[in-house]
Structure 1
Amino acid sequence: MSATSDLKPAERGAGERTTPTGHRPLRETQGNAGRRAVANRVALTVLTVAMVVAVIPLVLILFKVASEGLAAVGWNFFTLDEPTYRVEEAGYRAGFVGTAYIMVGAILMAIPLGLATAIYLVEYGRGRLASFVRFFTDVMTGIPSIFVGLFVYGLLISSGAIFHTGFSAFAASLAIAIIMLPIVTRSSEEMLKLVPDEWRNASYALGASKSRTVLTTVLPAAAPGLATGSMLAVARGVGETAPLILTALGSRYLVTTYFSDAQGAVPLQIHSGAMQPFEAGIERAWGGALSLFVIVLLLVVVARFVGSRANKLG
């Protein structure tokens, strides 16, 4: 408490209004209130302008992709293959099926491993090993995706590969899983840290073991946040193109094998269609970009919805 507040009301300056308890009334305006109000308005204006500038590119991209690709999206677009770029009646069936193959495999590889790593770091990890895992995870988050594709290419596809499998959906799934893994791990770790220690101690007090506490108390409490982080990782992986060029290679025809044969994917078909000179192929590339944009947008919206619901329930 300041020296001024320690004085009796009669000992203070005649111009300074006080309450019977010796404090200044809350309704009394301070001398710098006008300057602070101006600074607040200026800061709010700057932030609003920055937000508008940041949103403009997104709106322009969405408008361009929608205006160019909406005409190509139809029933045939999802049910037909694309034998040549110049044919009018064709679609991206091979790409959508291939993307589903690749992402299902990547999800099964990345999400369980990422959750297990996060559980270890939060509940069991101590010392240098845990610090190394966190550091390595942060480094992996910033690695360009093309490097991941090169790694998987050297591991599974090249002539000197350790496990030679050739171009396949499996190789592509492994590359996407490596990209998703640090995202799942870091987001899951932060969600697990938000679970109060009191909940863990209450479980221990009831006689539960460490593993049972994690399975029945910690994971259910953090489940909405874990789901949100996992969906954001899937949204990141589904739009990757560079690693697929070196692992899936691409195919314009439907491929149902997983461990053999080059596999198609929507990002690869968009990349190939946009590079050729035929109008029909370019239009389908815009349609593929619009479809991929909608898929990623839906994943992000679902993740945000789950997160907001979790906050309200919490």
Structure 2
Amino acid sequence: MSKTQNTESTKVELENKDTGSSSTHEVVLKFSCSDQPGIVAAVANLFALQGFNIRESSQFEDVHTHKFFMRTVLESCEGPKSIEQVKTSFEPIAQRYGMEWSLYDNQYKPRVVIAVSQWGHCLENLLDGYKRGTLPIDIVAVVSNHAVMQPLCEWYQVPFHHLPVTKDTKSEQEAAILNIFSDNNADFLVLARYMQILSNDLCEALSGKAINIHHSFLPGFKGAKPYHQAYDRGVKLIGATAHYVTSELDEGPIIEQAVERVSHANTPEELVEIGRDIEAVVLNRAVRWHAQHRVLLNETKTVVFSR
């Protein structure tokens, strides 16, 4: 959860870092810029000259803003390539077209910290995918304001950190979360039904690096007990939404959503139970797509090159 809130500034600053090894066989390039002729050809020609083959490529033009988005997976046919050298060679094209861009080692699994409270369905889904190797992440820590999930984390052999929080200790508890994030060299944070409102400072420190699952089909039924709100309105569809965390409650750019049909006969408790299955699936997809660099920001929205 996230919302604008005035608290003491946390003392931990997160450093920008390069992830992955210094050389790799595969890179992922994603960028956005104003749409104009020759972009795809320029990118393809540059990488062809460097001995890369395109394994996967997706493009999209927002016809309302005339903005172009692209994600490409490239494989070296000439052995490992220096990531820094590839970035350096791409810089002139990026400048020519005014791109916002990033290039990643496609063989690197992002390091993830998960925050959870007392419901473990989303956490267990992520832990299971991580342990089986089907989810391309490395879960380095789980933090919680309750101790309920500690046995589950111990079973999966993932470090668990119990960080109780009260109104008076919130700033210290959030600083501890950031310390764990920084000490583990983490790449992003996942709020897997973490039922605490994050402060403005924490939202800003983790801007673009935190994903939340909200148990509602946003923008409807924000805040607490959305399934009960849905029941009171007699809705016929309930859903879940995974979105990036911002300082505005449940307003971050949406990554993924799903719904399930319900009826007048379902009780609020039954809606909650149905919703849990949707939440786990939606959050899993969002984490996977973020880890695979398939999500690009488009102002308050996202472009998601899922497959």
- Shorter-normalised TM range: under 0.3
Which has the larger share of helix? Answer: 1
Larger relative contact order (Cα-Cα within 8 Å, sequence gap ≥ 6)? 1
Output the TM-score relative to the length of structure 1.
Answer: 0.26
Higher strand share: 2
Structure showing greater Rg:
1
TM-score by length of 2: 0.27
